[in-house]
């Protein structure tokens, strides 16, 4: 960057003044004249009269801080706690000292040595923690004893250590607490200083012409956070927030000036010893960076700002300008210029401070007054103002400390001091023409305050004055409050909402006059004011004509309450309460709309029920073991009301239709989804079975009511249920063939004795003499006529001969009857095909393939059975001229038969002349997995699922054919007569009765060759 800010002294002062205003700062109150730098912190300090003997240039730094002998320098440093005085405040610090006793300095002592020196720093640690030493920027090759790994351990408290390095190259460096665990805290407390290594030429900073200089000055930058310094051991370093920013240990206005002279090349040796970045600028002169961190720049850089980061050093050259400037401002730009938020004599104004000092250019005294009058004691009355009367602004003006000219005039500007130029404001009246003017006044007309464009609320009144030299001074100000609108009403709430026709509403609100500086003196409400289409009140009623509300008096922010009775005459729907508040300036605030809803009709109950609907005190609702369950739907929709509200609760009563009340509460029901939060709720309630047992026999009613958010109880519906704890009694049980049933069935009829409270719904049936237990037999659906229950059994499920049929009945309440028993006999129409005779296979039958009569044990029935052996050709007995019958039964034992996986072989086939195959039974698997499967042929083929019989059990296979409907019933029993499985197949194809039969391994072939043999016997047909 080659373009630089170049300004005269006047411009330098103007720029600094602008910076102070931009940062929101103001000078401290003027004090008696005093020499810099101890003058108070205000802008006029920049042009105070110079001392008789102006400061001369600093020249070059001499070796200091160490004892030198030839090329050896020994520096002794004591690290200890101490204090520093800042603007009259004593602040504890940790720091370096070169003396064996006494207070440390902030920063530490300046150490200046020559290039090539062997420097030994002897450290005495009087701090509470371990301490080491670091010299950033010194090459690692130049570091000797004490540095390296040992420096991370450091010197113990009250211990001594020694650190040696070679000052191998010139430059500006930092020395600071080294790399121990507590080093960051120690540096922040002040354990840091500046080391300068001088080159041998004596004319430059780095032995080159670019760094040649006339004068030099060290600019050490540090910060102080009083919270850290007050308790360093327990302070959280993440909260580090400095309140003071220091140059060479002092904050403006106590900073020391940097002496130089016009035309001199001034070397500024910056060192950031703190924990924050600091951008440094000079107003009125250039600075050229020649080195950073002890490294000379190949190309020096001209710059407006020299940005430094923590631990960094930088060397810049400033060519001091010639002219009328007496001082050039050196400031930290773009950040804080204050001291812990200290204020001027006016507590609303922050005083200038921080990293601000001056370069003394040794220029002649200014020839004229260039600073305008100071402003103080600015007031405005009345404040707050209701904009109905004029506002008077009073202020004092003085030139005594700003040049000594007379104050010629002053003016007031509201809010915008920048746009309204000097001379365009409202003029003051007073004793102008003197150095000091006290009690001058200006009047702001009420018309200005009341104008529509003048916003209600807080404003700033600025005051400025002009001196006889033509200088406008810095502005003073006072905040004023013009609350034209009255207080705000917020947080207005009505409860309950919705309300019913007997509610008393509680209206609560908050009156807030904090924006306008008054306090609340009243509140009122209006009900259902007329509004336009957009909801705005068409005619705003006069304040004080509404219904008064209660409030807590004499508060700027206060609570307001009222009770509003509601009757059914108000009508259903949305209504509006309008609320506003009154303040101590007699201003009513804007109306606040508080809508609420009136709902006069409660929810309706639909679909109520009791589960189970018949109760015996033992059988539970399936979803809630141990309980009966009341269920219903309660909805606030479609209930004849124009308002829909949330359903908030539901209750149930038993045998009691009276509506709920405070003393008539009923069983509390729960929302099925867990929360009453919609206008339609499914509800339920649990009734312990122990309670059911206490109810009388017979019919009962349950009434469910719902309540909406407005408090309305709705209408109910009744659900009827039965309590029945008496089990059914079977007087007689009969079984008879069902007349005309195809396929054939057996009708089992139970005649009941006594009166049944609840209907018979189910029964269970089992065969033989072994009772499987209540509820464990085959379930059947019964027809019930009040005194009689009946059901049918497919005849195919009953074996030939006499079968004992056992029945239990269950009523709707879950009561089981005692078991009843009857018998039924199934007879065959034809004689059985047996293999007891040596005349094989029998009259009318023919044998084929490996089919023979066997008498080998174990026998099946009688003295022989059919043994069909696997092979390439069928092994069967066949009869194709039988009397046509639809049904058949035979015995089968798997024996050694083994059928390949994925194959099945037919063991029985029935057909007719018109349909060679009507149905068949096929075998698959082997051993214990041998299974039988039914097949029904026709227009389509239906195949059942395998029923496993194994290879040792003598199974009974029964086939019953409904030839008209094309349905086949297939049942398999074990040797004990227990049913192994029953299936029904259908293909919709009518068939002729069976007149052709094949028994054995019917369809063996080359591709279907089972191994072993199967045993068959006792083929019967009917």
pLDDT digits (tens, 9 = 90+) for 969-1010: 899 999 888 889 999 998 888 888 888 999 999 998 888 999
Name the pLDDT band for 460 (thresholds 50, 70, 90): very high
- Residue 2 is predicted with a pLDDT of 33
3-state SS record for 455-471: CCEEEEEEEEEEECCCC
- Residue 368 is predicted with a pLDDT of 59
Cα separation, 671 vs 750, in Å, equals 44
Cα separation, 712 vs 679, in Å, equals 13
- Residue 1011 is predicted with a pLDDT of 94
- Residue 742 is predicted with a pLDDT of 63
CATH of 604-722, one of 3.40.190.10, 2.30.30.40, 3.40.50.150, 2.60.40.10: 2.60.40.10
- Residue 55 is predicted with a pLDDT of 45
Q: Are 81 and 126 in contact (CB under 8 A)?
A: yes
For residues 910-925, average pLDDT: 91
How many CB atoms neighbour CB 831 within 10 A? 10
How is the chain split into domains, by residue range? 66-342, 366-482, 488-598, 604-722, 729-826, 887-1003
Answer yes or no: is pLDDT of 21 > 60: no
Q: pLDDT digit string (tens) for 284-300?
A: 888 999 999 999 999 99
> Which residue is listed with tokens 């070796």?
63
Cα separation, 34 vs 43, in Å, equals 14
**Selected residue with higher pLDDT from 30 and 412:** 412
Q: Do domains 604-722 and 729-826 have the same CATH topology?
A: yes
Answer yes or no: is pLDDT of 738 > 50: yes
- Sorted by sequence, the CB contacts under 8 Å of residue 910 that are 6+ apart come out as 888, 917, 918, 919, 920, 959, 961, 994, 996, 997, 998
- Residue 741 is predicted with a pLDDT of 67
- Residue 671 is predicted with a pLDDT of 96
DSSP string, 19-53: HHHHTTEEPPPP-S---TTSS-SSGGGGGSPPPSS
- Residue 412 is predicted with a pLDDT of 95
Q: pLDDT digit string (tens) for 608-655?
A: 999 999 999 999 999 999 999 999 999 998 777 788 999 999 999 999
Instruction: Provide the edge-to-edge strand list for the sheet that holds 374-381.
Output: 374-381, 391-398, 436-444
Q: pLDDT digit string (tens) for 375-431?
A: 999 999 998 888 889 999 999 999 998 888 999 999 999 998 777 888 889 999 999
Q: pLDDT digit string (tens) for 752-809?
A: 998 888 899 999 999 888 999 999 999 999 999 989 999 998 776 777 788 899 999 9
User: Which of 81, 338, 308 shows the shortest CA–CA distance to 189?
Assistant: 81
Answer yes or no: is pLDDT of 18 > 50: no
Q: pLDDT digit string (tens) for 139-191?
A: 999 999 999 887 889 999 999 999 999 999 999 999 999 999 999 999 999 99
- Residue 427 is predicted with a pLDDT of 96
- Residue 8 is predicted with a pLDDT of 34
Strands 647-654 and 667-668: antiparallel
- Residue 44 is predicted with a pLDDT of 32
How many CB atoms neighbour CB 664 within 10 A? 11
Cα separation, 887 vs 503, in Å, equals 81
Name the pLDDT band for 22 (thresholds 50, 70, 90): very low
Cα separation, 61 vs 546, in Å, equals 84
- Residue 998 is predicted with a pLDDT of 94
- Sorted by sequence, the CB contacts under 8 Å of residue 339 that are 6+ apart come out as 41, 86, 87, 243, 244, 251, 252, 351, 353, 354
Cα separation, 587 vs 584, in Å, equals 7
- Residue 54 is predicted with a pLDDT of 40
Cα separation, 798 vs 960, in Å, equals 11
Fold of the domain built from segment(s) 366-482:
Immunoglobulin-like (2.60.40)
Q: pLDDT digit string (tens) for 67-97?
A: 999 999 999 999 999 999 887 788 999 999 9
How many percent of the chain have pLDDT more than 70? 93
- Residue 523 is predicted with a pLDDT of 95
**Selected residue with higher pLDDT from 877 and 347:** 877
Helix (H, G, I), strand (E, B) or coil at 577: strand
- Residue 574 is predicted with a pLDDT of 92
Answer yes or no: is pLDDT of 346 > 70: no
Cα separation, 279 vs 257, in Å, equals 19
- Sorted by sequence, the CB contacts under 8 Å of residue 496 that are 6+ apart come out as 503, 505, 709, 710, 711
Burial bucket for residue 828 (CB in 10 Å: 0-12, 13-18, 19+): middle
Cα separation, 546 vs 578, in Å, equals 9
- Sorted by sequence, the CB contacts under 8 Å of residue 738 that are 6+ apart come out as 744, 745, 746, 747, 792
CATH of 66-342, one of 2.40.40.20, 2.60.40.420, 2.60.120.620, 3.30.450.40: 2.60.40.420
pTM equals 0.46
For residues 25-35, average pLDDT: 35
- Residue 799 is predicted with a pLDDT of 73
- Residue 758 is predicted with a pLDDT of 87
Strands 244-247 and 215-224: antiparallel
- Average pLDDT score, the chain: 88
Q: pLDDT digit string (tens) for 850-880?
A: 999 999 999 998 999 999 999 999 999 999 8
Answer yes or no: is pLDDT of 45 > 70: no
Q: Does domain 488-598 have CATH number 3.20.20.80?
A: no
Answer yes or no: is pLDDT of 743 > 70: no
- Residue 344 is predicted with a pLDDT of 66
Q: pLDDT digit string (tens) for 215-254?
A: 999 999 999 999 999 999 999 999 999 999 999 999 988 8
Name the pLDDT band for 42 (thresholds 50, 70, 90): very low
Cα separation, 883 vs 442, in Å, equals 137
**Selected residue with higher pLDDT from 642 and 719:** 719
3-state SS record for 223-236: EECHHHHHCCCCCC
For residues 832-846, average pLDDT: 89
Q: Does domain 729-826 have CATH number 3.40.50.300?
A: no
- Sorted by sequence, the CB contacts under 8 Å of residue 726 that are 6+ apart come out as 697, 754, 757, 815
- Residue 902 is predicted with a pLDDT of 93
Omega prior to 748 cis, within 30 of 0? no
Q: Are 132 and 179 in contact (CB under 8 A)?
A: yes
Cα separation, 710 vs 713, in Å, equals 9
Cα separation, 33 vs 50, in Å, equals 11
């Amino acid at each position: 960057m080659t373009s630089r800010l170049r300004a005269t002294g006047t411009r330098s002062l103007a720029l600094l003044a602008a910076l102070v205003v931009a940062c929101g700062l103001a000078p401290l109150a003027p004090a008696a004249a005093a020499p810099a730098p101890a003058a108070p912190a205000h802008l006029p300090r920049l042009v105070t009269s110079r001392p008789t003997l102006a400061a001369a240039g600093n020249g070059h730094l001499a070796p200091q801080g160490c004892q030198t002998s030839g090329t050896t320098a020994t520096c002794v440093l004591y690290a200890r706690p101490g204090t520093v005085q800042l603007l009259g405040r004593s602040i504890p610090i940790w720091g370096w000292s070169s003396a064996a006793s006494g207070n440390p300095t902030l920063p530490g002592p300046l150490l200046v040595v020559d290039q090539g020196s062997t420097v030994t720093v002897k450290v005495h640690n009087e701090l509470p923690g371990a301490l080491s030493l670091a010299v950033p920027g010194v090459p690692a090759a130049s570091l000797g004893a004490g540095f390296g790994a040992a420096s991370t351990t450091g010197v113990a408290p009250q211990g001594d250590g020694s650190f040696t390095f070679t000052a191998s190259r010139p430059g500006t460096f930092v020395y600071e607490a080294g790399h121990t665990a507590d080093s960051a805290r120690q540096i922040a407390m002040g354990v840091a200083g500046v080391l300068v290594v001088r080159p041998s030429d004596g004319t430059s900073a780095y032995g080159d012409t670019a760094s040649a200089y006339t004068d030099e000055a060290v600019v050490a930058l540090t910060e102080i956070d009083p919270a850290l310094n007050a308790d360093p051991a327990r302070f959280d370093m993440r909260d580090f927030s400095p309140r003071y920013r220091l140059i060479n240990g002092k904050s403006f206005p106590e900073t020391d000036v940097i002496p130089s002279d016009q035309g001199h090349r001034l070397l500024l040796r910056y060192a950031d010893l703190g924990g924050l970045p600091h951008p440094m600028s000079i107003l009125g002169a250039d600075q050229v960076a020649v080195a950073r961190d002890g490294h000379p720049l190949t190309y020096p850089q001209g710059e407006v700002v020299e940005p430094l980061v923590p631990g960094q050093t930088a060397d810049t050259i400033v060519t001091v300008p010639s002219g009328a400037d007496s001082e050039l401002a050196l400031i930290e730009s773009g950040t804080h210029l204050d001291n812990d938020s200290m204020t001027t004599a006016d507590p609303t104004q922050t005083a200038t401070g921080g990293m601000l000092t001056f370069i003394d250019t040794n220029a002649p005294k200014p020839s004229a007054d260039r600073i305008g009058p100071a402003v103080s004691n600015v007031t405005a009355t009345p404040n707050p103002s209701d904009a109905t009367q004029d506002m008077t602004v009073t202020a004092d003006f003085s030139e005594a400390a700003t040049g000594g000219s007379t104050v010629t005039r002053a003016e007031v500007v509201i809010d915008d001091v920048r746009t309204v130029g000097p001379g365009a404001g409202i003029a003051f009246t007073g004793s102008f023409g003197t150095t000091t003017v006290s009690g001058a006044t200006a009047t702001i007309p009420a018309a200005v305050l009341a104008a529509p464009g003048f916003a209600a609320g807080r404003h700033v009144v600025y005051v400025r004055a002009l001196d006889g030299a033509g200088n406008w001074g810095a502005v003073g100000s006072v905040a004023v409050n013009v609350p034209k609108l009255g207080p705000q009403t917020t947080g207005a709430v009505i409860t309950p909402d919705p309300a019913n026709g007997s509610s008393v509403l509680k209206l609560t609100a908050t009156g807030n006059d904090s924006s306008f500086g008054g306090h609340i003196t009243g509140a009122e409400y209006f009900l259902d004011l007329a509004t336009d289409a957009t909801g705005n009140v068409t005619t705003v009623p006069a304040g004080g004509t509404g219904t008064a509300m209660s409030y807590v008096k004499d508060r700027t922010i206060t609570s307001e309450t009222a009770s509003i009775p509601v009757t059914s005459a108000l009508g259903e729907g949305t209504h509006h309460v309008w609320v506003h508040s009154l303040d101590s300036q007699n201003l009513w605030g804007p109306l606040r709309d508080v809508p609420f809803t009136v709902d006069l009709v409660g929810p309706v109950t639909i679909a109520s029920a009791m589960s189970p609907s018949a109760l015996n005190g033992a059988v539970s609702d399936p979803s809630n073991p141990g309980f009966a369950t009341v269920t219903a739907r309660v909805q606030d929709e479609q209930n004849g009301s124009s308002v829909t509200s949330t359903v908030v609760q539901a209750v149930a009563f038993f045998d009691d239709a009276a509506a709920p009340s405070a003393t008539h509460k009923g069983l509390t029901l729960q929302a099925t989804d867990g929360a009453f939060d919609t206008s339609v709720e499914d509800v339920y309630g649990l009734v312990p079975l122990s309670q059911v047992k206490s109810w009388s026999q017979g019919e009962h009613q349950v009434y469910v009511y719902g309540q909406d958010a407005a408090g309305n109880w709705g209408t109910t519906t009744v659900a009827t249920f039965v309590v029945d704890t008496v089990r059914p009694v079977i007087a007689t049980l009969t079984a008879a063939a069902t007349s005309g049933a195809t396929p054939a069935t057996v009708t089992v009829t139970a005649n009941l004795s006594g009166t049944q409270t609840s209907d018979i719904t189910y029964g269970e049936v089992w065969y033989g003499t072994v009772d499987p237990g209540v509820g464990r037999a085959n379930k059947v659906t019964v027809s019930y006529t009040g005194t009689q229950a009946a059901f049918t059994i497919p005849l195919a499920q009953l074996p030939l001969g006499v079968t004992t049929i056992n029945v239990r009945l269950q009523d709707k309440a879950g009561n089981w009857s005692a078991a009843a028993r009857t018998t039924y006999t199934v007879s065959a129409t034809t004689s059985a095909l047996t293999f007891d005779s040596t005349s094989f296979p029998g009259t009318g039958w023919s044998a084929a393939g490996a089919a023979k009569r066997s008498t080998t044990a174990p026998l099946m029935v009688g003295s022989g059975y059919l043994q069909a052996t696997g092979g390439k050709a069928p092994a069967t007995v066949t009869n194709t001229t039988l009397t046509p019958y639809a049904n058949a039964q035979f015995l089968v034992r798997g024996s050694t038969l083994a059928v390949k996986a994925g194959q099945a072989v037919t063991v029985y086939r029935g057909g007719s002349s018109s349909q060679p195959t009507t149905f068949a039974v096929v075998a698959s698997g082997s051993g214990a997995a041998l299974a039988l499967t039914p097949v029904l042929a026709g227009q389509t083929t239906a195949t059942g699922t395998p029923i496993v019989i194994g290879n040792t059990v003598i199974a009974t296979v029964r086939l019953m054919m409904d030839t008209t409907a094309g349905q086949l019933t297939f049942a398999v029993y074990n040797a004990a007569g227990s049913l192994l499985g029953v299936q029904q197949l259908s293909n919709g194809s009518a068939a002729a009765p069976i007149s052709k039969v094949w028994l054995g391994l019917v369809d063996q072939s080359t591709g279907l060759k089972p191994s072993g043999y199967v045993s068959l016997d006792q083929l019967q047909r009917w």
